[in-house]
């Protein structure tokens, strides 16, 4: 009787094929897991798994290559866009994307990210902006908010001493080589759904050969922000979104009209 009932059940939720079954090292409440899943779902839905090469950064997602069930390489700190360029140029028919945090992309890798966009390199970047260096234990990042306490801005980020947060999406949208640049957030289900659609459109941009694409994802770091996971999500909505507005900064007309 029980067996018969089981057989009629539909499987409605499972791990995407593009994710491996490894247990991640991410902290409880961290949104990396959500971002990984969204990327993997999009790769699955677009049927790209067997032609995708990911480029992992240095930072908390340094082990991304263990968590995705696609080919992967692990770059030096900040150099993922350069490595992705090398891969894409010798294998132009593959899908190539980088997965980078704010320290990796907006600090040490600033030159590489700006130039990969300027060249209109046909790759996709998933940019995790959680306003802090997670892996090294909570130091100030280029996207740390004014007044935000970190281990290297213990009294709060003083803009007189250490400047202002960098808005990467706005800056990259000025590049002629960019085809799709948007910022989304992972702080609640509605925004997560919007983030997934943006990731889909970013990969569509690449598959249609429309140039550089990037989705910036506002993300949480409860461990280093020293708050609970729930408080971290509220912090994104209340404090990060006002500094980093959720918007489409550049969308190629062909992508704007795309139905997915």
* Residue 34 C-beta: closest distance to other proteins, Å: 21
Question: Residue 33 or residue 65: which is nearer to other proteins going by CB?
Answer: 65
* Residue 193 C-beta: closest distance to other proteins, Å: 27
Task: Supply 153's token pair.
Answer: 């801005």
Residue whose structure tokens are 């990731």:
199
Using CA of residue 238, residue 244, residue 245, residue 247, what is the dihedral sign? negative
Question: Residue 49 or residue 194: which is nearer to other proteins going by CB?
Answer: 49
Binding site for other proteins (CB under 8 A): 20, 49-53, 55-56, 62, 65-66, 68-76, 79, 82-87, 89-91, 94-95, 111-112, 114-115, 119
Question: Residue 32 or residue 79: which is nearer to other proteins going by CB?
Answer: 79
* Residue 122 C-beta: closest distance to other proteins, Å: 13
Question: Residue 114 or residue 246: which is nearer to other proteins going by CB?
Answer: 114
The DSSP code for 145 is: P
Strands (E), the chain: 52-56, 71-74, 95-101, 124-129, 132-133, 139-140, 178-185, 212-218, 248-251
* Residue 92 C-beta: closest distance to other proteins, Å: 9
**Secondary-structure breakdown of the chain: helix, strand, coil percentages, each rounded to the nearest 5:** 40, 20, 40
């Amino acid at each position: 009787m029980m067996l018969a009932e089981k057989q009629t059940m539909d499987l409605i939720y499972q791990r995407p094929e593009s994710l491996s079954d490894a247990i991640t090292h991410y902290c409880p409440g961290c949104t990396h897991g959500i971002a990984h899943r969204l990327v993997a779902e999009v790769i699955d839905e677009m049927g790209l798994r067997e032609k995708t090469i990911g480029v992992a950064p240095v930072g908390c997602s340094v082990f991304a290559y263990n968590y995705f069930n696609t080919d992967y390489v692990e770059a030096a700190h900040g150099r993922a866009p350069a490595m992705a360029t090398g891969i894409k140029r010798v294998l132009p028919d593959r899908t190539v994307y980088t997965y980078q945090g704010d320290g990796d992309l907006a600090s040490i890798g600033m030159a590489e990210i700006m130039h990969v966009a300027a060249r209109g390199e046909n790759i996709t970047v998933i940019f995790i902006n959680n306003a802090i260096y997670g892996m090294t234990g909570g130091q100030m990042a280029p996207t740390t908010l004014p007044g935000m306490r970190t281990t290297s801005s213990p009294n709060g980020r003083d803009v007189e001493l250490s400047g202002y947060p960098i808005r990467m999406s706005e800056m990259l949208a000025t590049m002629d080589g960019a085809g799709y640049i948007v910022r989304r957030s992972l702080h609640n289900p509605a925004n997560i759904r919007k983030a997934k659609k943006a990731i889909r459109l970013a990969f569509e941009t690449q598959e249609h050969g429309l140039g550089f694409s990037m989705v910036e994802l506002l993300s949480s770091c409860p461990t280093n922000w020293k708050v609970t996971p729930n408080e971290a999500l509220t912090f994104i909505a209340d404090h990060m979104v006002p500094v980093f507005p959720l918007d489409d900064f550049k969308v190629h007309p062909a992508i704007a009209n795309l139905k997915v």
